[in-house]
Structure 1
Amino acid sequence: MNKKLLTALFGTALVLGACGGGGGDEGTDTGGGDNGGGSTSQEQAGGDVDTQAAEQAYEQSCASCHGGDLTGAVGPNLTQVGSKYSADEIADIIKNGKGQMPAQGGNVENVENLANWLAAKK
């Protein structure tokens, strides 16, 4: 009975952790370039990337399953995800989910920025 209870609690924690929280617009930099707030903007293979915003979005919504260092935990390793998927494909996976990964919310700019950042991981 204890194993079943622990399994149910762990499963619930995973589902809740996968939901992330990144539905808001806080920390969004849509102007491009350095806005004096410490953001760094880089040109990546998929387009302009606000690295600081992408890392923050990853920490808030992805790290619980994919690990703080992208090496995977419950979710797969993302250290070389850009060699397997394009930025558009990554954005589609974030928006719609894939396999055990549920669809994630968030505004389009944040998803595209995060997808471009991940696409550069090759």
Structure 2
Amino acid sequence: MTKWTTRHKSTTISLKLLTAIFALLALAACGSSKSSSTLDGPKETVALYNARCISCHATDLSGKVGPDSDLRTVGSRMTKEQIVQEITNGGDIMPAFASKLNADEINALADWLSKQQ
């Protein structure tokens, strides 16, 4: 191999590695628990929402993945029990959180969200 070929392969590999690193960083930031959210509610529940929900539902509950992800008035569309079922078992595009959140966490989120009128 010539020096040019070796250097070219090395540069190509480095660029691919850099691209992969940036992609991973961008994805990691998507579910970040850091938020400038000023949501009203129980501190622990809002912190749980910020840690687990904002990547799809936004820092202000407005939703990021279509109109069904808007939670600003979810309490007027769904009962607390329906919200518990949705968080636990998932829905059309909502993933199930039964294996990621315990019953108390799901109940706290559902209770708080059911009051979003």
Which TM-score applies when normalising by structure 2? 0.61
Deviation, 1:73, is 0.9
Gaps of 5+ in 2: 1-22, 34-40
RMSD over equivalenced CA pairs, Å: 2.9
The equivalent residue for 1:59 is: 50
Q: Does 1:93 align with 2:94?
A: no
Provide, for residues 20-44 of structure 1, a one-character-per-residue CA deviation record: whole Å limited to 9, x for no partner: 99xxxxxxxxxxxxxxxxxxxxxxx
Matches within 5 A, 1:108-119: 108-119=103-114
Larger proportion of helix: 2
Deviation at 1:101, TM superposition (A): 1.1
TM-superposed deviation, 1:119: 0.1
Higher relative contact order (CA 8 A, sep 6+): 1
Mapped to 2, the partners of 1:60 and 1:87 lie a distance apart of 21
Runs of 4+ in 1 over 6 A off after TM superposition: none
Alignment of 1:65-84 (within 5 A): 65-74=56-65, 76-84=69-77
% identity of equivalent residues:
32
For 2:65 and 2:58, the matched residues in 1 are separated by 8
Aligned positions, number: 84
TM (norm. structure 1) is: 0.59
Where structure 1 has 5 or more consecutive residues not aligned to the other structure, the ranges are 1-8, 22-49
CA distance in 2, matches of 1:90, 1:55: 16
Specify the structure having the higher radius of gyration (Cα).
Answer: 2
Q: Secondary structure at the match of 1:91?
A: helix
The answer to whether 1:121 aligns with 2:116 is: yes
Q: What is the one-letter code of the residue matched to 1:57?
A: L
SS at match of 1:95: helix
Q: Distance in 1 between matches of 2:78 and 2:95?
A: 18
